[in-house]
Amino acid sequence: MKFIHIADLHLGAEPDAGRVYSQNRSQELWETLQSVLEVCKEEQTDLLLIAGDIFHGQPLRRELKELNYYFAELTHTKVVLIAGNHDYIRKDSYYRTFQWNENVVPLFGRELEYVEFPELRTAVYGLSYHSREIREPLYESAFAGEIQKYEILLAHGGDEKHCPFRVKKLEESGFDYIALGHIHKPQALVKDRIIYAGALEPIDRNDVGPHGYVKGEITEAGVHTQWIPCAMRSYIHLEVPVNTEDTTGSVRKKILEAVKDYGAENMYKIILTGYRDPDLRFDTERMDRDGNLLEVIDETAPQYDLEELLQENDGNLLGEYIRRFENYEKDSIEYQALYEGVEVLLKNKG
């Protein structure tokens, strides 16, 4: 039985709204989903498992119709989905009354329920959020009922406010595979068995690194999974080293070269490191002309001539401060404290 596991699509979100590059970002979330559905078609995937937060908020009826249209084009694949904490099932949610295509099975109950696919010898279990938070460890009492040869749990949560669980309890539940959602960073809690697919596309500047989906197969020999990157963009935190010869212009050039190497389509938080000319402050506001630099943080320190400063301030507070730290290695915390302290004392002296 072949399956694809995705989660945290957050359709309807507008990541980094107002940025130059972000005008089409909301549409890209849909396009990435469509690319996964194409894989389902090409590879004749049996099950598409969606582990919650399909939408960033309450879905509109027209959004559900659009989504259902794409699912209906899957002539071989069955789709099983749950609602997460973002798209939880409110009293007025369109989820409650929407009529899905026959190949789509929503598990929208408050308590654990399941759907059987006898032709696949598979049962999929799951429950949905009916509020923004579920603090009870609902999944810790979930167990495979042995109604089919292969049994899968579709789950969303894992932190204090969203269905907390202990991995050991999930391991003991008897499910062949547990498809997790809610945590946007892809990670396997237990290899080939308990996996966060991660967000299909990053929607927040803290969603660093690659994003994609899990492709898996269950056979007599067990479960084998592979994580597949597919996101159009990534958030990248990138350190750019500078030196005393650099100016705002040369640093901007270094940033553009670094961005080119890592991919101009991605979004960047740039951290400037190293030592700069003491007379210079970098104008970080002028460094983003193309719109994909979310933030430029200057963590550089001024490169002082400590010997000259010591001679000029011998006998005063600044000179004594330099003398106390002068024997530390350049890469030590103490040496960093030396430069920070010298900067403060020079400002006060001025």
Q: Which tens digits make up the pLDDT trace of 93-135?
A: 999 999 999 999 999 999 999 999 999 999 999 999 999 999 9
Rounded to 10°, the helix 333-349/317-325 angle is 170
Instruction: Report the DSSP pairing between strands 78-82 and 113-117.
Output: unpaired
Position 289 pLDDT exceeds 70: no
Least confident of 38-52, 89-103, 241-255, 334-348: 334-348
Q: pTM for the whole thing?
A: 0.85
The sign one gets for the Cα dihedral 61, 62, 67, 72 is positive
Q: Where are the beta strands (DSSP E) in the chain?
A: 2-6, 47-51, 78-82, 104-106, 113-117, 122-126, 150-156, 177-181, 187-190, 194-196, 212-219, 222-229, 235-242, 267-276, 293-298, 301-302
Rounded to 10°, the helix 61-72/25-43 angle is 30
Query: 108 by DSSP, 3-state: which?
Result: coil
The CB density around residue 89, as the number of other CB atoms within 10 Å, is: 20
Q: What is the largest CA-CA distance in the chain?
A: 88
336 versus 121: which is more confidently predicted? 121
Residue 335 burial (10 A CB sphere; 0-12, 13-18, 19+): middle
Average pLDDT over residues 132-161: 96
pLDDT at 336: 75
Average pLDDT over residues 262-270: 88
Average pLDDT over residues 326-343: 76
Task: Give every CB contact of residue 201 below 8 A, 6+ residues apart in sequence.
Answer: 9, 10, 28, 29, 32, 211, 231, 232, 233
Query: 336 by DSSP, 3-state: which?
Result: helix
Position 291 pLDDT exceeds 70: no
Residue 178 and residue 195 in contact, taking contact as beta carbons nearer than 8 Å: yes
* pLDDT > 70: percent of the chain: 97
The band of 309, judged by pLDDT with boundaries at 50, 70 and 90, is confident
Q: What is the dihedral of CA 185, 187, 189, 192, to 10 degrees?
A: 150
* Selection from 263, 318, 264, 313 nearest residue 289 by Cα: 264
The band of 21, judged by pLDDT with boundaries at 50, 70 and 90, is low
Average pLDDT over residues 145-160: 97
227 versus 329: which is more confidently predicted? 227
Q: What is the pLDDT of residues 219-264, one digit of tens each?
A: 999 999 999 999 999 999 999 999 989 998 899 899 989 888 888 8
CA angle 205, 88, 100 (to 5 degrees): 110
Position 183 pLDDT exceeds 80: yes
Structure tokens at 108: 């929208």
